[in-house]
Structure 1
Amino acid sequence: MLFALAGLLAVLGTLNEPDRVRRLLLVAVCDALVALVAFLVPWRRARPDAPALIGLAGFGVLGMATWSFGGVAAGTGPFLVLLYAWAALHFRRWILLAYTVPATLAYVIPLIVTGQPPLVLSSAAILMPIALAVALLIEAQARHLRDDRERLARIEQWRAAMINTLAHDVRSPLGGVQMVLDELREDATGIQAVMLDGASRQTARIHRLADALLDVQRIDSSGHLKLDRQVHPALGLVRDALTYLRPDELIEVDVDPASTIWADKQRFEQILLNLVGNALRYGAPPVVISISRDGDVDRLEVRDHGAGIPEALRGSLFGQFAVGGPDGVGLGLWIVRQLAVAHGGTATAEHRDPGVAMVVTFPVHA
């Protein structure tokens, strides 16, 4: 783009320099050729420093432009600095230092050929150090940014590995625990049976939390989740999800037995359990679960009757690690929003008096 612009300016220069039309058109053609080569060559397959060769061609064209304008370097100087700035963003410091000789020759030789006075020639002693200094400053900042990006990439790799390892290591022993609980439950009665049922539900919940950690990794790495969406009875989905909670929780269900919802059953349960868990933890009972159809979407609403959401948290409520605390790490609502988006819906918080309603929408099956 830089050389295409230079070529365009050379063409426009013919309007003010009718005596140098042929020279300026030659410069424009050379600029266009350099731009075309820079655009068409598959640089990704070459060595990282290979595009620096464009700079050498560029210095030659800039020298030709100075000669074409009769030794007037008013346009050459800025483009030379821009060329240095481009090189500083992409190449190592030694290339910038190596550019000093061809850049100086490209600037000085046309001035000598056109017979410019010593005062004009001495401008190179000012321009070239300035161009090099600007380039070195830009190169230093670009290098720091690249180092930071590489460091963050390494941290992200470690984080992903830790999440995957933790999730898999948690799920493996849970299988053995679940088998023991199932064996004990066969002969248990009374309060023991109730306690074992609760332990089984919590074991299953830990298993689901491990799956949620893997979901976080999948969402971060690929940006989407694969869903197994089917049309389910809405009331059945809600009741199945609530079996993972204690039966004495103050939860009310307001769902039409005839209504249906198009969703991935496992992901729907994750959404509902996250919302209900937050309502019980941070709100006040009763927690009311309702599903209603609004046009072409089904609205899952989980409302509590607490103090509502502080104003300072509303903007970041569904962000990652945004609302963590002693009882959580702030991933629940972020996962809810990601799962809602994966379904093609939304997740929002709506004010109620009293309390707040967390609303997740699901598109209606066509």
Structure 2
Amino acid sequence: MLFAVAGLLGLLGILNTPHLAGRLLTVTACDLVLTLAGLFLPWDRFGANSPALLGLAGFAVLGLSTWSFGGVAAGTGPFLVLLYAWSALHFRRWILAAFTVPATLAYLVPLILTGQPPLVVSSAVVFLPAAVSVAFLIESQARHLRDDRMRLARIEQWRAAMISSLAHDVRAPLSTVHLVLEDLRETATGQTARMLDAAMRQTARIARLADGLLDIQRIDSSGQLKLDRARHSAAVLVKDALSYVREDADVSADIDPDLTVYVDKQRFEQILLNLVTNALRYGKPPVLVTFRRDGAIDRLEVRDHGAGIPEALRPRLFGQFAGEGPESVGLGLWIVRQLAAAHGGQAFAEAREPGVAMVITFPAAALSG
């Protein structure tokens, strides 16, 4: 882009100085060649520092341009600074230091050849050190950003590997536990049978949570999540999901018995259990779950009666790693938001007096599928 703009300005310069048309056409042709070289040459095959050759050629063309304009550097000086800035964004300091020689020649030689007065020539004493200093500052910041990006990439690779390994490693022993529980359940009776049923439900839930960990990885890598949506009774869905909540928890539900929703059952359970667990852990009972149709959307609401959440914090509650408490990882509500978005809905928090309501919307079943 830099060389393309320089070539265009060379053509425009012909309109103001037609007597220099030949020289300016030569400058424009050189800029065009460098533009095409920058766009189409396979620089990645030549090494990371190979594009620096464009910089060397660029300084030569800038010198030619200054000479073509009769030694007037007012137009080419800014391009010299921009060329140095581009170099600082992509190359190390030793290349910037090496560029001082061709940059100085590109600035001084045309001034000397065109017989400029000493005062104009001496401007290089101020201009060039300033350009080099700016370039070194840009290089320093760019280097820090590159290092930070590489460090974040390594952290992300470690996190993805950990999540994938954890999800897969949990499945094998969990399957064994579930089989043992099934065998024991066949002969159990009374309270023991009920306890084994609860244990089997929880192992099944842990298995789904392991799948959810893999979902996090899929959401991060592709931004999409495949859903198995079907029409379900909202009352049955909520009842089944709340069966995983401990029996002594103060959780109640108020669901329209005629409401049919179009959701992925497993993902819906994940959403509701995340919200109820958060309400019990960070809010104050009682926790009330409601599910109603509101025009074109189905609206799930999980409300606690705690101290509430400040208005300034509510917009970022559903962000990744947004948890601030010592026991909070900050992924639960982020997963909820991603699952809501996968359904075509939204997740947000609303103030209540007292407490806060976590609201999830879904497209109405009549308008979906």
1:271 Cα deviation after fit = 0.3
Q: Aligned partners of 1:324 and 1:122: how far apart in 2?
A: 59
- Counterpart in the other structure of 2:291: 291
The equivalent residue for 1:23 is: 23
* 1:107-165 CA distance string (max 9 Å, x none): 23222322234443343344333333332332222122211211111111112212222
Distance 1:139 1:351 in 2: 47
Partners of 2:251 and 2:285 within 8 A in 1: yes
Q: What residue is the counterpart of 1:7 in the other structure? A: 7
* 1:159 maps to amino acid: R
Partner of 2:323: 323
Aligned residue for 2:252, secondary structure, equals: strand
Matched residue type, 2:354:
P
Letter in 1 for 2:115: G
Question: Paired residue for 1:301?
Answer: 301
Which region of structure 1 is more displaced relative to structure 2, 277-286 or 331-340?
277-286
Opposite residue 245 of structure 1, the aligned amino acid is: V
What displacement does 1:339 show? 0.6
The answer to which of 52-61 and 121-130 deviates more is 121-130
Aligned equivalent of 1:70: 70
Equivalent position of 2:139 in the other structure: 139
Deviations 1:194-219 (A, max 9, x none): 22222223333333333333222222
Residue matched to 1:338: 338
How many residue pairs get aligned? The number is: 366
CA RMSD of aligned residues (A): 2.4
Matches within 5 A, 1:172-183: 172-183=172-183
- Secondary structure of residue in 2 paired with 1:315: helix
Name the CA shift for 1:296/1:45 in 2 (closer, same or farther; >3 Å): farther
- 1:145 and 1:227 map into 2 onto residues whose CA distance is 37
Q: 2:271 corresponds to which residue?
A: 271
Residue 41 (1) aligns with residue 14 (2): no
Counterpart position of 1:221: 221
Amino acid at match of 2:78: P
Amino acid corresponding to residue 343 of structure 1 in structure 2:
H
8 Å CA contact retained: 1:230, 1:263? yes
Task: Quote the Cα distance in structure 1 between the aligned partners of 2:156 and 2:175.
Answer: 29
Deviation at 1:44, TM superposition (A): 4.2
* Partner secondary structure for residue 288 of structure 1: strand
Q: Give the stretch that moved more between structures: 7-16 or 170-179.
A: 7-16
The aligned residue for residue 242 of structure 2 is 242
TM-superposed deviation, 1:83? 0.6
CA distance in structure 2 between the partners assigned to 1:180 and 1:324 by the alignment: 39
- Letter of the 2:268 partner, please give it: F
- Equivalences for residues 121-270 of structure 1 within 5 A: 121-270=121-270
1:309 touches 1:356 (CA, 8 Å); kept in 2? Answer: yes
Q: Which amino acid letter does the alignment assign opposite residue 351 of structure 1?
A: A
- Counterpart CA distance in 2 for 1:276 and 1:220 is 25
Overall identity of the aligned pairs, in %: 70
Q: Which is worse superposed, 283-292 or 60-69? A: 283-292
Other structure's SS at 2:316 match: coil
TM superposition score normalised by structure 2: 0.89
Note if contact 2:232-2:260 (Cα within 8 Å) is conserved in structure 1.
Answer: yes
Q: Following the alignment from structure 2 to structure 1, what is the Cα–Cα distance between the partners of residues 322 and 180?
A: 38
Distance 1:128 1:282, change over 3 A: closer
Distance 1:103 1:306, change over 3 A: closer
Please state if 1:354 is matched with 2:349.
Answer: no
CA contact (8 A) 1:38 1:54 kept: yes
Match for 1:7: what amino acid?
G
How many Å separate the matches in 2 of 1:43 and 1:229?
48
In the TM superposition, what whole-angstrom CA distance separates every residue of 1:261-293 from its partner, at most 9, and x where no partner exists? 111111111001111222233334443322222
Alpha carbons of structure 1 residues 279 and 118: separation in structure 2 relative to 1, 3 Å? closer
Give the unaligned 5+ runs of structure 2: none
Check conservation: 2:349, 2:356, Cα contact below 8 A.
Answer: yes
1:104 maps to 104
**Structure 1 pair 48/11, CA: closer, same or farther in 2 (3 Å)?**
same
Structure 1 residues 135 and 192 mapped into 2: Cα distance closer, same or farther (>3 Å)?
A: same
CA contact (8 A) 1:229 1:263 kept: yes
CA distance in 2 between partners of 1:86 and 1:249 (Å): 62
Name the CA distance, whole Å, in 1 between partners of 2:325 and 2:206.
Answer: 19
Aligned counterpart, 2:282: 282
Aligned-partner SS, 1:290: strand
Q: For residues 327 and 142 of structure 1, do their structure 2 counterparts lie closer, same or farther at Cα, with a shift above 3 Å needed?
A: closer
Alignment CA distance shift 1:132-1:269 (3 Å): same
Q: For residue 347 of structure 1, report the CA deviation from its aligned partner.
A: 0.6
Amino acid at match of 2:151: R
- Cα shift at 1:54: 1.7
- Indicate how the Cα distance of structure 1 residues 124 and 330 shifts in structure 2: closer, same or farther if over 3 A, else same: closer
Structure 1 unaligned blocks of 5 or more: none
With 250-259 and 73-82 compared, the bigger mean Cα shift is at 250-259
Contact 2:11/2:25 (<8 A) preserved: yes
